Structure 1
Amino acid sequence: MITDSSAARRARLAGMTASAAAMVVLVSACGGTGGGSASPAKNFSYLSVTENTTVKTALTTLSKGACKTAQDAQPLKVETVPQASLDQKLQLLAGQNALPVQFAAGNAPALTQQLAGSGQVADLEKELKKLGVYDQLEPAAVSTIKALYGGKLDVLPYEYNIEGIFYNKKVFAANGIAVPGTWAELTSAAAKLKAKGIQPFSASGQQGWPLTRLISGYLYRSLGPDALKDVADGKAKLTDPKYVKAAAEVAALGKKGYFGKGVGSIDYDTAMNQFLSGKAAMLYMGSWALANIADPKQDTVGAANVGFMPFPAVTGGTGSIDQYPSNVGLGIALGAKSFDKNTGDWVSCITKNYGSTALKDQGAISGFKVNADVKDASEVAGQVRQTISSSKQNVLWFEALFSTKATTVSQTNAAGLVNGSLSPEKFMQTVQDALSSK
């Protein structure tokens, strides 16, 4: 659902982790009292990343329409930096007590949390409630942000994605397969498809994360929404039997040939193409894939023939099938010292109108409510949007709370897990060792 280039979108969303960068140390000026209160901002300054054009485009549209009054009082001014340079730029500006009014949050939530701890990031829950617009955020998006930012609403959800399994409705119907509600039903459906000569799943082993997300999906359904938080908090280890079980279940899919041949060499675009061209019946992916599904040049199956289902339940598990893995892309924070009345007017207008504008003009789903009657691009797009609106508690993904090292180890070894060169025990031990190393 994002209009950035596919490579940039994948780097930002698909591989995004809550610990995607090591904890950075801000210059000492961040921790001090700074230069006192800042004077009112002349512009609604917004520091974005070059790779993302969605937010800038939507804000520009709002500045000329629904938010023109806010624009007249505090004109929108956009500056961009490459995403790779964002953290360094934010640290520099924070050290100079010169953060813009609004800015793309750091690549790892740890940076934004440090800025918030030093009083430089606005408490958005407090500010939005004061403005009377807190209810304009989708509860699921709030849940995701708080899970990433230590219980705080440190960023606004200009983007919002949930993950699940896209499936070919035509293939399912032709083979008498109902939408699986349990893991056992999913594996049974895969076996039936394989027996008919149909590849059950498409996945990128080269990327790694589409496979590890299947592990976290199983963990969340079997052990509940705190399964990976318990690992991060030291209450559990990936080498515990119940955790290894999840890796073993995913490894079994590969052993039975459900991912097709050479999954380790399949890249993201090829995996997407396998599904959209009808060569595979299912694809685990995030809702950003709706943009690909809506493109008839890519989707020869046809958007009308694509369905979306949640990761299935695990019999006897404590997780809920309506807890969807989710992310907010690169969240947007606001400076605490420049949050004045004019900024408040902008924020009020954004929360009420951004969701509709981004969806109508760019087909992008955000974490803001859609207050206008906007037609969805397809039935599956409407289904996903409705799912987001009705979801109350979401979960993260396998590497969300991992260190950079553990994330890399996890994703580079995922293909080995499903092609049989790495046992489930060895895979989980390798990742746990990376988590435990300093």
Structure 2
Amino acid sequence: MTTATRRARRLAPAIALIGVGALALSACSGSSGGSGSESGAGDGEFTYLGQTENTTIITTLETLAGDQCKAAADAAPLKSDDISGTQWDQQLQLLASQDGLSDMQMAAGTPALMSEFIDGGKVLDLSKALDDLGVSDRLVPAAESTVKALYGDGALYALPTEFNIEGFWYNKELLEANDVEVPETWDDLVEAASTLSDAGVQPFATAGKDGWPVTRLVGDYIFRTLGPDALQKVADGDAKLTDPEYVEAADAVAELGKAGYFGDAVGSIDYNASMNLFLSGKAAFYYMGSWVLANFNDEAQNQIGADNIGFARFPEVEGGAGSIDQIPANVGIPVMLAEKNYDDESAAWLKCIAEGYGDTALNDSGVVSGFVVDNPPSDLPPTTQMVQEEIANAPSSVLWFEALFTPKATGISQNNGAGLANGSLSGEEFMKLVQAANDEG
């Protein structure tokens, strides 16, 4: 097995938790002999609290401690702790109430809880801190805008240790064989789907059973027609999903379903099955996030070849207020710093993390982060290089459909995504269900 293949197989984590569902963590257990309830700032130490299941962040920090962050580690040695189970947010809330947050920890999984921490002065304003340290340019602009949009404050309160972009992956050979151009507008996409379908090629591989890959399209369409603040307006109560201009987006996706462009029995197709459809050459387009790089770069799974896969941003909608440059994205599990604990030692750690995390995470763990990469590995697979270029060139980003919804509305949305994909649910019916759940709180 080549180095490139080994790196590719560990390249992307499972679907980013913040992007797709709740964090799965609970009871306290300390990897360094402590426990979550005792994980506040250490005297003369730089403390980190993470999830037991995620080893990439702590591994990267440990590597930095012996390299770029050696001076910081000498002054304040790294001490880590972890929590595993199903109660991450609840444990963080408890620690915050006791002023027991670590110097740095993974952020809350729920944006609303992060907003509570921000309003309560628990979380460091990283916009100011990074600027004071002269390293504010070490974050990729699209990643920075994604974090800021999550918490709606306009400032930066977490660091993007992962960065996943979303869009339409496509089979180059299938498009070329059917004289289909890479779509730049929604009308182009619909026309391409029609051409492919008439030729006997399934246009889209879609996990209708999971629902969220379908609802992602609804959100993206809204951002393209109404602009990047469209769903923030819904969260603020200034607009409703049942307003005609929002229903238009769900109707547009439902029309694809009615035409059969998502394939037969799409409601029974799950994530793995949709992946297999695309990687076996049975579908031309596949809307998904860049976490799929691990699958694309795995020769055992990818039957069409990594060189045969292209990436297209979600297309513009003609006359819309949004831009194709606003790329749908999520930041996986970002990390936050405690305001109360921030001192010169923490500042030294923050500075060296900003300067070195991007290269270290990519070279050692194959993880694409939201930090600038200065020296990427020479053996990166072509799909990974493509994503790196997209990230570097994207000036800003937008969130996903359910990012600012209540938990109940998120569930209702994703549970009914299949109805849009198979054409059994109209856009208006879908939006009424989701808006009602949001209204209930």
TM over 0.5: yes
For the 8 Å contact 2:158–2:337, the answer to whether it is kept is yes
For the 8 Å contact 2:8–2:381, the answer to whether it is kept is no
Name the CA distance, whole Å, in 2 between partners of 1:348 and 1:248: 47
What pairs up with 1:227-376 in 2 under 5 angstroms?
A: 227-375=230-378
Alpha-carbon offset, residue 245 of structure 1: 1.5
1:308-364: CA deviations, max 9, x gaps?
Answer: 000111111121111111111111001112211121111111111110111112221
Match of 2:119 in 1: 117
Alpha-carbon offset, residue 96 of structure 1: 2.3
Is structure 2 residue 146 aligned with structure 1 residue 141?
A: no
Distance 1:2 1:377, change over 3 A: closer
Alpha-carbon offset, residue 376 of structure 1: 6.0
1:283-305: CA deviations, max 9, x gaps?
Answer: 11111111211111111211111
Alpha-carbon offset, residue 14 of structure 1: 4.1
Match of 1:101 in 2: 103
Name the CA distance, whole Å, in 2 between partners of 1:351 and 1:264: 43
Distance 1:283 1:348, change over 3 A: same
For the 8 Å contact 1:323–1:395, the answer to whether it is kept is yes
Match of 2:72 in 1: 70
Q: Which amino acid aligns with 1:307?
A: G
Alpha-carbon offset, residue 214 of structure 1: 0.6
Name the CA distance, whole Å, in 1 between partners of 2:131 and 2:16: 33
Is structure 2 residue 401 aligned with structure 1 residue 398?
A: yes
Name the CA distance, whole Å, in 2 between partners of 1:282 and 1:233: 34
Alpha-carbon offset, residue 161 of structure 1: 1.2
Name the stretch that deviates more: 379-388 or 352-361: 379-388
Q: Which stretches in structure 1 are left out of the alignment for 5+ residues?
A: 22-37
Q: Structure 1 vs Structure 2: percent identity of aligned residues?
A: 51
Name the stretch that deviates more: 240-249 or 208-217: 240-249
Q: Which amino acid aligns with 2:120?
A: S
Q: Which amino acid aligns with 1:63?
A: A
**Which residue of the other structure, out of 377, 380, 391, is the alignment partner of 2:380?**
377
Name the stretch that deviates more: 231-240 or 191-200: 231-240
Q: Which amino acid aligns with 2:126?
A: L
Distance 1:270 1:142, change over 3 A: same
Q: Which amino acid aligns with 2:300?
A: K
Name the CA distance, whole Å, in 2 between partners of 1:228 and 1:2: 34
Distance 1:110 1:14, change over 3 A: closer
Match of 1:89 in 2: 91
Distance 1:13 1:295, change over 3 A: farther
**TM-score, length-normalised on structure 2?**
0.90
Distance 1:56 1:143, change over 3 A: same
Consecutive aligned runs of 4 or more in structure 1 exceeding 6 Å deviation: 1-6
For the 8 Å contact 2:8–2:294, the answer to whether it is kept is yes
Alpha-carbon offset, residue 42 of structure 1: 2.7
Name the stretch that deviates more: 79-88 or 120-129: 79-88
1:152-189: CA deviations, max 9, x gaps?
Answer: 21111111111111001111112221111111111111
For the 8 Å contact 2:242–2:432, the answer to whether it is kept is yes
Aligned residues: 419
Alpha-carbon offset, residue 281 of structure 1: 0.9
For the 8 Å contact 2:11–2:365, the answer to whether it is kept is no
Match of 2:29 in 1: none
Name the CA distance, whole Å, in 2 between partners of 1:228 and 1:376: 40
Alpha-carbon offset, residue 382 of structure 1: 1.7
Q: Which amino acid aligns with 1:254?
A: G
**Which residue of the other structure, out of 201, 204, 221, is the alignment partner of 2:204?**
201
Name the CA distance, whole Å, in 1 between partners of 2:413 and 2:42: 46
Name the CA distance, whole Å, in 1 between partners of 2:161 and 2:145: 15
Match of 1:10 in 2: 15
Is structure 2 residue 436 aligned with structure 1 residue 433?
A: yes
**TM-score, length-normalised on structure 1?**
0.91
Q: Which amino acid aligns with 1:109?
A: P
Name the stretch that deviates more: 85-94 or 202-211: 85-94
SS at match of 2:142: helix
1:182-209: CA deviations, max 9, x gaps?
Answer: 1111111111111121111011112111
Name the CA distance, whole Å, in 2 between partners of 1:231 and 1:343: 37
Distance 1:257 1:310, change over 3 A: same
Name the CA distance, whole Å, in 2 between partners of 1:4 and 1:76: 25
Is structure 2 residue 165 aligned with structure 1 residue 162?
A: yes
Match of 2:34 in 1: none
**Which residue of the other structure, out of 170, 174, 177, is the alignment partner of 1:174?**
177
For the 8 Å contact 1:3–1:364, the answer to whether it is kept is no
1:386-419: CA deviations, max 9, x gaps?
Answer: 2212222211111111111111100001101221
1:189-242: CA deviations, max 9, x gaps?
Answer: 111111121111011112111000111111111121122122222222211222
For the 8 Å contact 1:4–1:52, the answer to whether it is kept is no
SS at match of 1:10: coil
Q: Which stretches in structure 2 are left out of the alignment for 5+ residues?
A: 1-6, 25-39
Distance 1:162 1:426, change over 3 A: same
Name the CA distance, whole Å, in 1 between partners of 2:298 and 2:290: 14
1:1-32: CA deviations, max 9, x gaps?
Answer: 998899x8236154148xx99xxxxxxxxxxx
Root-mean-square deviation (Å): 2.2
Name the CA distance, whole Å, in 2 between partners of 1:181 and 1:247: 20
For the 8 Å contact 1:3–1:54, the answer to whether it is kept is no
Name the CA distance, whole Å, in 1 between partners of 2:42 and 2:191: 62
Distance 1:112 1:373, change over 3 A: same
For the 8 Å contact 1:352–1:371, the answer to whether it is kept is no
For the 8 Å contact 1:325–1:396, the answer to whether it is kept is yes
Q: Which amino acid aligns with 1:12?
A: L
Alpha-carbon offset, residue 39 of structure 1: 7.8
SS at match of 2:359: helix
Name the CA distance, whole Å, in 2 between partners of 1:267 and 1:190: 21
Name the CA distance, whole Å, in 1 between partners of 2:376 and 2:139: 17
SS at match of 1:285: strand
For the 8 Å contact 1:4–1:53, the answer to whether it is kept is no
